[in-house]
Structures are given as structure tokens and as C-alpha cells.
Structure 1
Amino acid sequence: MSAAVPPPRPPEPIPDVLAPARLGPVPLRNRIIKAATFEGVTPDALVTDELIEYHRRPAAGGVAMTTVAYCAVAPEGRTQRAQLWMRPEALPGLRGLAAVVHEAGAAVALQLGHAGPVADARSNRLPSLSPTGGFNPVSLRRDRAATSEDLERVVRAHASAAQLAVEAGADAVELHLGHNYLASAFLSPRLNRRTDAYGGSLRNRARLAVDLARAVREQVGDRIAITAKLNMTDGVRGGLSPEDSLQVARWLQEDGSVDALTLTAGSSLLNPMYLFRGEAPLKEFAAQFPLPQRIGLRTLGRSFLRAYPYEPLYLLEHAQKFREALTLPLILLGGVTDRDGMDRAMAGGFEFVAMARALLREPDLPRRIGQAPDTRSRCTHCNRCMPTIYTGTHCPLIGTR
């Protein structure tokens, strides 16, 4: 007599996006995360009252966790000089920020990374690093090709920054492996033409990303959650492909170095609108620069700020392939603005969703969605918030209908 065939396992219940959840060791009140969006309110590269208020609002508005961006791990790793970077002098302000966010009922994550070729060397008054060196369109100067000693220092700096995050009372860190910042630039075949142990094969190109994630895990263990923001694709010809990105994600999963991945796309260096979608605010960006650069941006900017149509959950198709191949918890980013989109993400197997622009206009949107599931975001996806990073990131449409 043949053995009885066990009945099929019932499908896992679809989680409620507004129910409590866990991210690694961290309990969260729901599954909605405020994504990292550069705040533009740290003129001395330290926490300010404005930065604290920036994160208090979405915390009070119902997100489970808010992400402080962008906490550079080294002074030359800032996108520009007026940007927070992790050193002991930053601790008092970070502790104050964490206390305020916790008082509002949310957790706080610090996004750690090194801008690499996205750094403005002219503003930082330090050479920017890149995989191969060459002319940098951000600073209009030449990047310096990172040495192996530079990269080992950057790995150690991530571990030190994560330790400071623990001491600051943060609940999580997010490792920035996207948007052609340093680790992401190394992943890109277009930007990484090295022939040493950091170039050539995907394993070599992924070495920096894998090493810094391991170093952070070794430093902090399970005291806080560790996530990573990983490009699924750079959105440029010759850049990181979805197939290669998925392999990098598998290596991170096998290492156990991260508790979740935030799946992103696009290149701050070469094609930023691939991430944002919607209108390209060229006129508003140009207005932030002196006259010669303003004319250049108005004339040639469309080749850089390419417009892509906006649609809800616009990264879902790419992300679904990662969901099918991985067991690691995944955070869906891109066009999450209402309860319907959140429920679709949960039904698709994603553990968390991340919101950004919609929370600039309505930081209380998650709370209102909980009260009335048919609530619709008032964000128009005009992207006119993007150029406000130079004066304090905000929605310029607040107060309009």
C-alpha cells in the first residue's frame, strides 16, 4: 500500500498592512515605512530642530518607521557639504531625534552610505571617489579612482556608523546600495571598468556591497535591524541588470547580513527620473543654480531629467521577479499612495511598503488611510518637491487644492 499523500499546505494568509509586524529584531506598529528622502535641513552636517520636526510629522502621522537620509559614513561621501555625516559630534542630535520619533510611536532608521561619484567634490572640498575615475558631471571635476585602501576604509566606516546608530537609539540602519552611489557604482558594468579584485566579474563588482553589509552585521549583530536599498536596475544602457541585481540579492540573503531589502531603481548620476516617474521639474531645478549652469540645464537638461509616465506601483513588475526568487523580506517602493496599492503589495508577497513623496504633502496619510480605507493621496507626482532639497525638502503644493 502506498503512503498517503499529505494534503497541500493552505496558502499563507495575506498580512494586514496596518497590523503590527516585525522587521528583524524590531517590532513595528504596521508595515508602512517612510522611505529616505534627503531633507536639506542640516547646514552644519548635524541634526537640527528642522530635521527632527521633518521626521516627527510622519511618525505622528502613522508610519511604522521613518528613515533619516542621508547619513554619510565619511566626509567625502556626502552628496554635498551641508549633509549629515556620522561621527561622535552627531550623536547628541541623533539621540534627540530618536527620542522624539519614539515618543510619536514610530521606529527610526538611519540610512548609511557613501555617495561616491554622486558626491559634489567642489562642495565637500574633498575629491569624490568612483570605481574608475574620470570626469564627474556633478562637480564638473575629475573623480579619483578608489584604491583598495579607500574601499577597506569605507567598509570600516559603515561598521563604525552602524555602531553610532546603535548608540543614538536608532532601531535600524539602511545600507545605500542603490542609485549609483559608491557601492552601486561598483555594481555597474558601465561605471566600473576595473581589472582588480573589485572589477570584472559580478562577484568582484559586488565585493564592496557584500563586504560592507557583512561588516555592519558583525558590528551590530541583532541589536538593530539592517536593511539595504538595492537597485534592481540602473535604468541606463550598460548599467546593472535585473539578473545581476537578483544574484547580488541572493548573496546578501545567503550571508544573513540584512533583514530586508528595499527594491529601488535608477541612477542619481545618469538617470534620476527612472526612480521618481512623473513630470521632470527642469525649470525648477535650473532656478536653483547660477546663471551659466541655469542656461545649461534649461538647454541640455532633458537628456538628464527624462520624463517617465507615472503609474501606481510602478516598480512592482521588476520587484515581483525578486519576490518569486527570494525568501528574504522585501520592501516595495514606488507609487505606493493608497490602501489598494498597499493591499496589492501584501497580496504579492511583500512584507512592507515604503512611501516618500506622498508623505511630504500629507505626513498623516497612513493614519487617515487607517480611518478611511478609500482615502486618496493628494500628491500629483509633479516632482516639484525634488528641487526643494536645496532649501529644505517640502511639497510646494501644500495649501493648494
Structure 2
Amino acid sequence: MADVTPDPFAPVQLGPVRLRNRIIKAATSEGRSPDGRVTDDLIAFHRSFAEGGVGMTTVAYCCVSPQGASAPGQIVMDTEALPGLRRLTDAVHSAGAGISAQLGHAGVVAPKKLTGVTAVAPSRFVNPTSFAYCREIRRDEIATVIDQFGQAAQVAVDAGFDAVELHFGHLYLPSSFLSPLINRRRDEYGGDIDNRSRLVREIAHRVRDVVGDRIAVIAKLDMDDGLPGSIWIDEALRTVALLDADATLDAIELTQGSSVYRPMYLFRGDVPVREFTKVMPPLLRPGVRILGKGVMGSYPYEDLYMLPAARQFVPIMRNTELILLGGITNRDHVETGMREGFAFVAMGRALLREPDLVDKMIADGGVRSRCNHNNKCMVTVFARTHCVLDPDQRYGAAVPIAEPGRPAVSS
């Protein structure tokens, strides 16, 4: 780890990859691939961040299998997707930035109406938001999921990505194994935190074996998910220590919250109940209007709101860099992250509002983001993710998706 505070805007090494700076565009649900394939709209979306100065942009939630999808229109990382993915990576590279593919399996969040199969979880579970039943995943299916992450990583290599981000957060399938609330197994994947960490470690090992030193490997992992009795910092520290000792990852992006319940724990700030009510089926609207704030949760926004939890992880790292996420909107925040011992910072909503914010920060250290954390962008994922305060995006041509997906901006 670095002994001196690094310059966040200087070139940097991330594993085997050289990036022009330490600013990463966080994965944000895009709504720009309605048929599950790369579109010109998706390419333009990510190229805008590259042209705006980020070191690397992240393509949100690429499924390792069709059964691992959480919403319509997500890209499945298979060989049929390769031509479009190659166009995407070429476009971002031509604008000077790196590009990462976020790989995930939705597990308890995978809707049967979309996937055609009952969702799987470490143990039998009922999703408290959708009330959908999730069956316990079998041992042979766990091995299949590990293989699928490896196969998806190979597709990323073949498509020209610079990195993959393994989604170990937000109570998707790998994350749900870390949760004592959901994981009540009695085999080697259940019990104490070392056993519950087994799946994420095995996935990381498989992906590293597949990609070698051709691309960087990142994991996105919950420090805590905001659910009583579920993931909290004490056990997350152990999981991260085990992953760090394995030395299979180049970096870990620390996150919070879940896609199962109270998603505002991740986002903080205004709760867009009115906007969510409008996109729900008519029969559900009264319930959303009355109960929406309680179901989504309400948490005040603060700058650098994940830092108090994330700084607990800095002293234990030996082999793996850390990425700070959450409430980073200006140069002061970026430099604070560097001083605190983080090697990179990830930005989501602020860049959605201003794709060229990094270039603005480089030119003027006092510039402030125009994002006001109204969180109405969360609802735009049901059609085409954008900042509702950006006229060009707000009134631009939409690419509709068949039905509402998961309400998430930061994946």
C-alpha cells in the first residue's frame, strides 16, 4: 500500500492495467440495452464518462447466466454478446479511459417472471419486498455458478475489457451467502463467517485462474447491508481479510445496502416515493404511496457517508487496494479518500449529473457537483437511466424496457 498520499489525477496501476487517474465511474443501472445486447445508446453513455475524464467506467450488472438476471434488458456475458461488447470497449478506449464489466448473479433478487425459474438462495427464503419464494441452492448448482463467473470473465477478456468487477454486494447471490439472516446452511458454505465467505473466495479464485494477469479483478462487497441480523462490519472485516490473504483481487470496492429491502440505505437523501408510485401498476400504487417510504427506508445524505465504515478496512489490507464509494462529489472528497488510505474513488450520481465532472475538477479544484441527491434518477432505470435535471437526457429519445426492473442506480 502507498506510504504517501497519491495524486488522484495522475496515471496509476490497477493490477496489470494502467489507468490515467484514480477516478472510477461506479456501476449504475443503465436501461440502455433493452434486448440484452449493446446498443449505440449504451456506447454513447459510457463514452461520455470517458470523454469527461474518468480513469475507468463500469458497465453495470452483466449477468453470468440468464437465470442470474435481476431486471429486463441486462446483458448476459456470452459469446453472442461479444461483437457489441467489443464495439463498446473500443469506443471507451478511443476516448482514453479503461472499462470494467460488473459480473453478477441476482440470486434472491432474480424474478421468476423474468428468468422462468424459481430464484435461488443459500437457504429457503422469502424476499420481503416481492414476497417471492427462493429455494435453497444445491451443492452442484454452487459449482455451476462458480463456473459461470469464470466463463463470464473469459468473455470480458475476449471483449477487450480492462477489468471485471465481481458483484459480492447488495444481497445478490454471493452476498447472500455472507448474510447470517439468509444463509442458514449446515454444510461448508454455512455456519461461521469463514464458511459463509467460502463462495466469494472460490469465485474470486476461479476468475483469477481464468483471466490471469490479462485484466484486473475487482470485487464489490458490502460492509453492512442495513438489515438487522444480516451483514455488519465485524464479519465483513473478516471476509475482506480472507480475500486479501488469498491475493486473488486487485481491489475491493466497499459498499453498503441491499436490493432486498430499504434500498435507500445505499443511496441516502430524498426518497422518490411519488416517482416510484407513477411507474407501478395501478393496483399497487396506493400501497406504494402509503408504505413506500417505510419499505425503501429514509436516511439523510451526508458527503462521504460511507467513509466512517470504510476506514475500518484500511489497516487490514496487505495485498489488495481499496476503492471508496459514497457521497464523493468534488475534489476535496477525492483527496480525502487518498489521505485516508484508499487507492481509488468511485462516483455514481455525481457523474450521472455531469459526465465531465472529473475534467472540471482537474481544471478547477473548487468546482462543486450539481447533483442535489433528489434520487429521481433511481426511477429512470425503468426506461433509460438519466439525471432528471439534465435537459438533454430528460427529453432525449428513450429506449423503453418491457417492464419495471429493480430500482437501483448504483448497482
Same fold by TM-score greater than 0.5: yes
Percent identity over paired residues: 50
The equivalences for 1:189-338 within 5 A come to 189-327=180-318, 328-338=320-330
- Tell me by how many angstroms 1:138 deviates: 5.1
Q: Any conservation in 2 of the 1:80–1:121 contact (CA below 8 Å)? A: no
The whole-number CA distance in structure 2 between the counterparts of 1:12 and 1:203 is 30
Which residue type is aligned with residue 221 of structure 2?
L
Residue 8 of structure 1 aligns with which residue? none
The equivalences for 1:115-154 within 5 A come to 115-137=106-128, 139-154=130-145
- Tell me by how many angstroms 1:140 deviates: 4.1
The whole-number CA distance in structure 2 between the counterparts of 1:43 and 1:142 is 27
Residue 102 of structure 1 aligns with which residue? 93
Which residue type is aligned with residue 245 of structure 1?
A
SS in 2 for 1:152: helix
SS in 2 for 1:321: coil
Residue 340 of structure 1 aligns with which residue? 332
Residue 369 of structure 1 aligns with which residue? 361
Could you tell which deviates more after superposition, 132-141 or 26-35?
132-141
The equivalences for 1:52-71 within 5 A come to 52-71=43-62
Q: Any conservation in 1 of the 2:36–2:74 contact (CA below 8 Å)? A: yes
The whole-number CA distance in structure 1 between the counterparts of 2:302 and 2:324 is 14
Once the two structures are superposed, residues 172-206 of structure 1 have per-residue CA deviations (whole angstroms, 9 ceiling, x without a partner) of: 00000000000111100111112222211112211
Once the two structures are superposed, residues 76-110 of structure 1 have per-residue CA deviations (whole angstroms, 9 ceiling, x without a partner) of: 11112321111111111100000000000000000
SS in 2 for 1:144: strand
Once the two structures are superposed, residues 197-256 of structure 1 have per-residue CA deviations (whole angstroms, 9 ceiling, x without a partner) of: 221111221111111011000111111000000100111100111011111111111111
SS in 2 for 1:150: helix
Residue 4 of structure 1 aligns with which residue? none
The answer on 1:49 being equivalent to 2:40 is yes
SS in 2 for 1:229: strand
Match of 2:16 among 13, 25, 29: 25
Which residue type is aligned with residue 357 of structure 1?
R
Match of 1:75 among 66, 76, 96: 66
The whole-number CA distance in structure 2 between the counterparts of 1:140 and 1:289 is 16
Q: Any conservation in 2 of the 1:111–1:175 contact (CA below 8 Å)? A: yes
SS in 1 for 2:296: coil
- TM-score between both structures, scaled by the size of structure 2: 0.93
Q: Any conservation in 1 of the 2:194–2:238 contact (CA below 8 Å)? A: no
Residue 7 of structure 1 aligns with which residue? none
Which residue type is aligned with residue 370 of structure 1?
I
- Tell me by how many angstroms 1:12 deviates: 2.8
SS in 1 for 2:336: helix
- Tell me by how many angstroms 1:270 deviates: 1.6
The whole-number CA distance in structure 1 between the counterparts of 2:180 and 2:229 is 6
SS in 1 for 2:32: coil
The whole-number CA distance in structure 2 between the counterparts of 1:345 and 1:331 is 9
- Tell me by how many angstroms 1:137 deviates: 4.3
Match of 1:390 among 379, 382, 387: 382
Residue 16 of structure 1 aligns with which residue? 7
Which residue type is aligned with residue 394 of structure 1?
H
Which residue type is aligned with residue 338 of structure 2?
M
The whole-number CA distance in structure 1 between the counterparts of 2:326 and 2:168 is 17
- Tell me by how many angstroms 1:358 deviates: 0.6
- Give the 3 Å change call, closer, same or farther, for CA 304–341 of structure 1 in structure 2: same
Which residue type is aligned with residue 258 of structure 1?
L
Match of 2:371 among 369, 376, 379: 379
SS in 2 for 1:83: coil
- Tell me by how many angstroms 1:142 deviates: 1.6
Q: Any conservation in 2 of the 1:81–1:124 contact (CA below 8 Å)? A: no
How many residues matched?
390
Could you tell which deviates more after superposition, 98-107 or 139-148?
139-148
The whole-number CA distance in structure 2 between the counterparts of 1:298 and 1:149 is 43
The whole-number CA distance in structure 1 between the counterparts of 2:76 and 2:128 is 23
Residue 349 of structure 1 aligns with which residue? 341
- Tell me by how many angstroms 1:136 deviates: 2.8
Alpha-carbon RMSD: 1.3
The equivalences for 1:80-95 within 5 A come to 80-95=71-86
Match of 2:171 among 166, 169, 180: 180
SS in 1 for 2:101: strand
Which residue type is aligned with residue 165 of structure 2?
E
Structure 2: which 5+ residue stretches go unaligned? Answer: 393-411
Could you tell which deviates more after superposition, 138-147 or 349-358?
138-147
Q: Any conservation in 1 of the 2:125–2:182 contact (CA below 8 Å)? A: no
Q: Any conservation in 1 of the 2:129–2:261 contact (CA below 8 Å)? A: no
SS in 2 for 1:232: strand
SS in 2 for 1:33: strand
The whole-number CA distance in structure 2 between the counterparts of 1:39 and 1:93 is 16
